[in-house]
Amino acid sequence: MNDNHDSIGRGHAAVKRRQPDLYHDLITPQETLAIREEVRRFADEHVQPAAWSIGHREELVENFPRDLFKKMADAGLYRIPFAAQVGGRGLKHPATATAVLIEELAYYSNSVAAIVDVHCILAGHALEHATPELQQRYLEPLLAGERIGSFATTEPEASTDLSINVMQTHAVGGDADFVINGRKRFITNSPVADFVVLLCTDNGRMTEIVVDLDAPGVRVGPPDRKLGNHGQLTADIYFENVRVPASNVVGSRGAGLKIALQTLTYGRIGIAASGVGMAQAIFDHSVDRLNSRKAFGKHLAQFQHWQFKLAERATEIENARNLYLKAALRMDSGQAFPEPEAAMAKWYATQLAGEFARDGVQIFGGYGFMQELAADRSHYRVEEIYRDCKISEIYEGTNEIQKLVIARAIFGKGVTG
Ligand SMILES: Cc1cc2nc3c(=O)[nH]c(=O)nc-3n(C[C@H](O)[C@H](O)[C@H](O)COP(=O)(O)OP(=O)(O)OC[C@H]3O[C@@H](n4cnc5c(N)ncnc54)[C@H](O)[C@@H]3O)c2cc1C
């Protein structure tokens, strides 16, 4: 499908970006600043015109934004997180650049940010633990955008709690090959993906295994219908006697949970960045609206109520961006689990996006509540963000779990459990 098929680009038109004037960046490496500029140019040109349409489509396989997915591949965006040996850009600060990539995509579309987050950070990063042979088969085509990746830990009865005794997807055997049975839930990209990096039990331990989604015995259900992020397709994946070679193990047998948790820690930095991207978009659209809309003979911006509200949000965006950059820089310095900053960044930035989305709709009044105004087909970014932002407080570790991670750093595991 042409991603721009029904976008009229009105109401959603670009507004002045406020971040360059308000945010004095002292911590981002030059290399990452260049990535921000490159991705922003790409997003202005290719994501902005398609974003409204992507965010308002029915969740169907044929509505996956394939045009844009390919454009991102052609622009080399999926290479940003990775080392040169596997075809990546070989950056000195790959996690920081990747988080900035996610912020810049989420500024226009949280659906697109989520597609890329799962493709690159979850599926891609997990494969960094794989053998060179597996990387050649799965990671290199993922970087080229020739194969779409997905990553599965969640099950109907296991998600926040990923303990082995609740997990119901089992791989048995494993000398020459495994036989896998079970079911995964809410798996992003799965309706269009080529493979899944799967966390399952393996004879009393937990292991990550790559499974082709066209293998006999694998079935992907129809896409779920969600509150927001309509461009991001999720579905259940069913495994019935699926035979997978033992060589498809990622890392070593028994290392699955550690790899999954490390991957999700990287992921939570990405989700923090997506929260900042959404908050910045609400901010820019709100300032524009407050400066142009009048009531009682004044611009709304002249009411101190809104001046103070925007002053508070500007400060919170500053804090949220600094936090995710700090977490990413710690990851780039070799910390596989850069806590408590990663948890702080994820909780703080996504809560900010959620609270600010509520304010954003309020600032736009009735127009903020419209998906599309019948009189002139106009639409406003805050409506979509209001629906999209909620999931960022839930996926890749709920915000309650982020607070548990922070509390552990304060009180120790002996107290928090
Ligand atoms: C759009 C979308 C995309 C997703 N993509 C993927 C994907 O690609 N791959 C994947 O594997 N999963 C994916 N998920 C799953 C997602 O990560 C889970 O939904 C999330 O981890 C929460 O799990 P749950 O929904 O089962 O909630 P539950 O685990 O049932 O939790 C319910 C509530 O209980 C709270 N809770 C649980 N334990 C505690 C505690 N100890 N203290 C306090 N509160 C607690 C939680 O914080 C939450 O608020 C996706 C989900 C959605 C909706």
pLDDT of 289-326, one tens digit each? Answer: 999 999 999 999 999 999 999 999 999 999 999 999 99
Question: Cα–Cα distance between 60 and 67 in angstroms, integer?
Answer: 15
**How far does the centroid of ligand 1 lie from the alpha carbon of residue 160, in Å?**
5
pLDDT of residue 12: 62
Give the strand pairing for 177-188 and 234-245.
antiparallel
372 in Cβ contact with 379 (< 8 Å):
yes
Same domain, 299 and 407: yes
Both 267 and 411 in one domain: the answer is yes
Give me the residues of the chain with pLDDT under 50, please. Answer: 1-2, 4-11
3-state percent helix, strand, coil for the chain, nearest multiple of 5? 55, 15, 30
Distance 255 CA to ligand 1 centre (A): 22
Cα(102)–Cα(112) distance, integer angstroms: 9
The answer to whether residues 204 and 167 belong to one domain is yes
Residue 296, domain CATH = 1.20.140.10
In DSSP terms, 298 is beta-bridged to 295
**In terms of residue numbers, what domain contains 305?**
262-416
Q: Which long-range contacts (CB under 8 A, 24 or more apart) does 153-156 make?
A: 153/184, 153/199, 153/260, 153/264, 154/184, 154/185, 154/186, 154/187, 155/182, 155/183, 155/184, 155/185, 156/183, 156/185, 156/236
Q: How much is the pLDDT for 14?
A: 75
Pairing of strands 234-245, 218-220: antiparallel
Q: Same domain for 198 and 317?
A: no
Closest CA to 278 of 25, 137, 103: 103
Q: Look at residue 182 in the predicted model and tell me its pLDDT.
A: 98
The count of structural domains within the chain is 3
pLDDT value, residue 9: 38
User: Residue 314's pLDDT is what?
Assistant: 98
Residue 402 covered by a domain: yes
Tell me, rounded to whole angstroms, the distance of Cα 240 from its chain centroid. 29
The strand ranges marked E within 106-212 are: 149-152, 170-173, 177-188, 195-202, 205-212
Please tell me whether residues 154 and 142 are part of one structural domain. no
Pick the atom of ligand 1 nearest to 114's CA: 3
Shared domain for 270 and 382, answered yes or no, is yes
Pocket of ligand 1 (CB under 6 A): 118, 151-154, 159-160, 186-188, 226, 229, 234, 391, 394-396, 398, 400-401
- Could you tell me if residue 321 is inside a domain? yes
Same domain, 281 and 364: yes
pLDDT of the residue at 7: 39
What distance lies between CA 287 and its chain's CA centroid?
26
Catalytic residues: 396
Lookup result for tokens 């398609």: 50
**Which of 130, 148, 166 marks a domain boundary?**
148
